[in-house]
Amino acid sequence: MKIIVPCASCYKLNNVDLDKASHFRAICANCKSYLPIHDGIQDVNGQTLKKLVANAKIPIAVDFWASWCGPCKSFAPIFHDVAQDIREHMIFAKFNTEEDQGASVTYNIRSIPTLIVFSNEVELDRQSGAMQKTTLHTYLSRFIK
């Protein structure tokens, strides 16, 4: 399965094969920079998230987090596991709010972790706080077509 991944260097969109990206580091077709995707989960910032939301053909689940946040740390492996389970149906991304503090204003982030689901260029829903794997799986499955 291929998904789009915006380059963090030149902001061009790239089609990335998830299976190949799990074995090799994906490279931007335009500027040859490494793409910010690891195990099917993209690292996004304000610019790349805008590109992703504007161009994705399937729903996107974005985890807004920070390295100092205990619940964020406990939620990270759960987010990763669910991403591995349903990555053919949804794009998974992580947004480090420490690296791009404008996200708190742009996306109205009041607490972390906050999970926002986007589809067709709009926010469908959001959930604040860490979730267990079955809860996250059930929550996200309602957005899969």
Query: How is the chain split into domains, by residue range?
Result: 39-141
Residues designated catalytic? 69, 72
Residue 77 pLDDT: 97
CB contact at 8 A, 112 and 129:
no
- Predicted model pTM: 0.94
Residue 145's pLDDT band (cuts 50, 70, 90): confident
Query: Considering the chain, what is the average pLDDT of its residues?
Result: 94
Residue 63's pLDDT band (cuts 50, 70, 90): very high
Is residue 78 over pLDDT 80? yes
For the structural domain made of 39-141, what CATH number should be given? 3.40.30.10
Is residue 22 over pLDDT 80? no
